[in-house]
A = this chain, B = another copy of it.
Amino acid sequence: MTELAGPKQDRSRATRRRLLETTIRCLATHGWEVSTVGFIAGEAGISRGAVQHHFRTREALILAALEHMFEERAALLDALPEPAQDGPERVHAVVRGLVEAIIGGDLFRAALQVWTVAAADPALRLAVLPLERRFARGVHRRAVRLLGADDSDPSVRALIQATLDMARGLALADVLTDDSRRRARVVRAWSGQLAAALSAA
């Protein structure tokens, strides 16, 4: 890289980032059908041709956007502070943090649009699955670390998976309506059981 290439590359990286973030926002706000390459390009203030230079199909653009958001979300989970408390309060803080990280922002809503279309589209499903698995494994690993749990115990492992399945169910419930009050009660009750199981294990 020459010295002159620096700023140009920065600009290109910033454009790419804006495009990927706009893609996620369009999917979450307007849904799959509306989020064509042309629409997303318009929203991002980038020419359609420039978008197609980087991503030849809508699927390629959307998968790159999901991957980008997954990485951002993983970084957000890595930045969550070590919980100050111990015991049940620590478990509650961690579960609440994980649930809100999964639900917050546009990622879940955008991913839901992609999963739903992929459910009836085998080619898209094949492309989404490895991405989704990598993300799920990353979230699980981070949950284990934050909980200070022993993941080699199969029942602990299954309970942490159950916690993340519950989090996804809560995220789905929040798509149609603001479910935050009910969710707070559910997360507290669940965390109490998880804390008891982890301290017994």
Interface residues of A in 140-185 (CB under 8 A from B): 154-155, 158-159, 161-162, 164-173, 175-177, 182, 185
- In this complex, the interface size class of chain A, counting residues with CB under 8 Å from chain B, is 35 or more
Q: Which of A36-44, A50-58, A81-89, A192-200 contacts B (4 or more CB under 8 A)?
A: A192-200
The answer to whether A154 and B185 have CB atoms under 8 Å apart is yes
Name A129's contact: one of B128, B158, B177 (CB within 8 Å).
B177
**Chain B neighbourhood of A193, CB < 8 A:** 159, 193-194, 196-197
A109 at the interface (CB under 8 A from B): yes
Contact A116:B118 (CB < 8 A) given known A161-B186, A190-B159: no
Q: Which residues of B contact A119 (CB under 8 A)?
A: 28, 31, 109, 112-113, 175-176
Assess the B169–A189 pair: CB atoms within 8 A.
Answer: no
Which residue of B116, B121, B169, B177 contacts A169 across the interface (Cβ within 8 Å)?
A: B169
Q: Contact check: which of B32, B116, B159, B162 meets A112 at CB < 8 Å?
A: B116
A-B contact pairs, 16 of them (CB 8 A): A31-B119, A33-B33, A33-B117, A113-B116, A115-B176, A118-B175, A125-B177, A129-B176, A154-B185, A159-B193, A161-B186, A162-B190, A165-B169, A165-B173, A168-B168, A168-B169
Chain A positions near chain B (C-beta within 8 angstroms): 28-34, 109, 112-113, 115-121, 125, 128-129, 132, 154-155, 158-159, 161-162, 164-173, 175-177, 182, 185-186, 188-190, 192-194, 196-197
